Structure 1
């Protein structure tokens, strides 16, 4: 059955693939191999398949080479764009830092001006009160002198009437002499009283004029204080608002954060003593209340700045690096499977300096499984940072570090495909995106 089927197939293929014989000749004999049409078809199909496979493989390799070249070119362009962006961010950060320093200098100058003006205001208030007391004394003396003058006039009238009613000549003569002496004394007393009254009136008028001048100067000083207060209030708003926004962008509760810093730094960052310009138990003035509000805002600004050094808002690498992988699920570079990447990767040369992103205490400095050489730093507010795949560790467990301290060098230790830094931020033991903190601080530091 099989021979018949083969013969029929050969008969069908005979017009296109006629039977051929391949002769093999040696010294003693000659042999041949019969190539039936079906055999030729199989050989032709196999050759065609090999050629097609070679063409497809060549095309695939060519397309892969072209794609790899395009990918490398795109990667170079992305790296160049990223480096330009980093340089721009660094420039903006320096600009913001200079503006913050300038604002702080202006604030300190304005605070000194307020202190001087408040001193002058206190002196003016004291002088005004002394003048008011002097005017009251002068008016009291004036009223007393006028009463004495009226009493002397009444006594003079009584003596004159008594002299007129006396009839005897001797008595009249004696009375006349007495009246003449009394009148001279009274005239002299009245003259002195009038002079003293005129002088008191002149002093009172001068005191009133000086009081008006002092009131005008006090009004000018209050207007100047109002301008300075407004400038200080605006400066405090501009200084505190970006810091508050930075912490809220990072997902931190600013109220509990400030309370925690205040409790920890009661000797340095606690509430400032409120101003008090009253010496007689009076209610604080409007200027006093405004000054106290500004001092409270200054205290809040100080607390924010302390808290900013305790949270990881700084960058772990200051040199130019390439951002190679972010936080979230990704294709694992080793196994190819889908896994959660719990940090951010920054690629750079071996030995690139790695810095602490906030104040804290080193809790681990050594080798740990896939992390390789790893540093863990515990910060305030339940925050922990991790720096992995290092080539060198420059800190020890228990060592206290500050933001910006160099803690290690970039490397390729552990489960890694190349030199880079794996940087993690954990809050309450749970990994969060480190770029949230870094981006939140771009407009502040």
Structure 2
């Protein structure tokens, strides 16, 4: 039976020639004559986790936590373990993930392969900076142990390496201590883009976690308005908040996207007005603070059968406000915006991977319903702004950037190519290497 695979954006779709469920740590790679690519939980948005016509290694079978040192906060686990599984084990004993993306339903292997970042990049950098060591299964070398001091070049190629350097079998990461599951948070309403950058500069000094939701359809003096969220892990004396209630499931796949110009404008306007006070303070459980969308399972269905494209870029500090303004003006003029428009300023912590995306500057992430050529034209126009500013687009969120742009964004790609496993490939890599 033919099985079609898709990423979280549900575009594009791919048909692998074979799918093998990994349950081994000491056997040869399967796949026969096909190219091979590890597949975690499918939470990348584009085609970096797809291998159309090749073989996929479903890594979710490697789902064991191997060791937790309660005194030092080091954790060793197999690559298919979800971040959600780690949190359920370590939060009750006073530890937390050092870096987490906006969903906890990603695998450890996927977090390393995409060198994910979170709301605390300005303090702690990327996930890869907290990986102490890992085991990599390669077709030409067997199992290779990698760390910053052992096979260091391969280690740095694997972090952010999009699964192309081999199959990660297990990894050891350093956790960070917490006193309880609470987050002492503040939500600040701001009027425009200039106010965002002022808040970000002020907040990064005192808050570990900072991020903003913006109304991407606002224009004129209100362009870039939104809510700025900042927080720190709650102090020991604070009463731990209750965990959130039952999660909900988006029940159907509509034949057309429920996200359109009318619903976007209505939602964004109402959402911006939901908090009329200048600031709201609360001690919240970590789940709604870090993972608000995880409360709705299969929320990607609301974009309909054609799926959606996420666009995440970073632009350099010197031109950040000007470039973000140009991006938002282009999006607002196209009337093809996003419910989920997220803006943050990255710190100057250097990412460890050869192809790591985070770098100093402002990063903007949005979801666009797939409306065919109209959407592609808009994203191509955004590319021009990002490329001319000296910025970059995130491969884990991409389904259509050109090879020319990829090579501009990631100038170490030729160095990276030396570490690609000879049997590994992906739909993404073939696309951006096509000339």
TM-score normalised to structure 1 length? 0.20
Greater helix share, structure number: 1
As a proportion of its length, which structure holds more strand?
2
Query: What is the TM-score of this pair, normalised by structure 2?
Result: 0.20
With a CA cutoff of 8 Å and minimum separation of 6, indicate the structure with the bigger relative contact order: 2
